[in-house]
Every structure is written in C-alpha cells, then in structure tokens.
Amino acid sequence: MLELKKGRASDVVVGQLLRYMGYVKEELAEEGQHVKGIIIAMEDDPRIRRALAVVPDIDFYRYQISFKLKRV
C-alpha cells in the first residue's frame, strides 16, 4: 500500500494506512501474503515519527521537488 501526501504527513496518516493495509490483507491478499505500507510526503513531524517507531510494516520517505525553467 502506498499513501502519497502533497505536504506534511501527520500521525493520522498512519491510522489511515493501517486501515487500508487491513482491508488488503483481509480482502485481497492471498493466504500467507505479507502486506507492507509506504508513506511518501514532503515533510514529517515528531508525532508521525513516534507512531512509525512501533509500526515495522510501514516505511516513510520524504520527497523533494526541484525544477528548472527554460525559455523556448
């Protein structure tokens, strides 16, 4: 499961992703299949770091955006 946030991710996102993962595990995954979650956001905060510290099946990545304008 992948959850992409356009800005800052808070600890609420962890619960949201866990619900999605639970659905996938119960309804879509095959017997014995492992469900893993990923949160991608531009920023995080201490609350989400604490929540993720006890949830081993969810990884967190921060993204950066950079672009360059070229006159054509």
Tens digits of residue pLDDT in 10-40: 899 999 999 999 999 999 999 999 999 999 9
Question: Model pTM?
Answer: 0.85
DSSP E strands: which ranges in 1-72?
A: 2-4, 37-41, 58-62
Task: Please give the mean pLDDT across all residues of the chain.
Answer: 94
Residue 58: name the closest of 7, 30, 8, 20 by CA: 20
Under 8 Å between Cβ of 57 and 6: no
Q: In what order do the strands lie in the sheet with 2-4?
A: 2-4, 37-41, 58-62
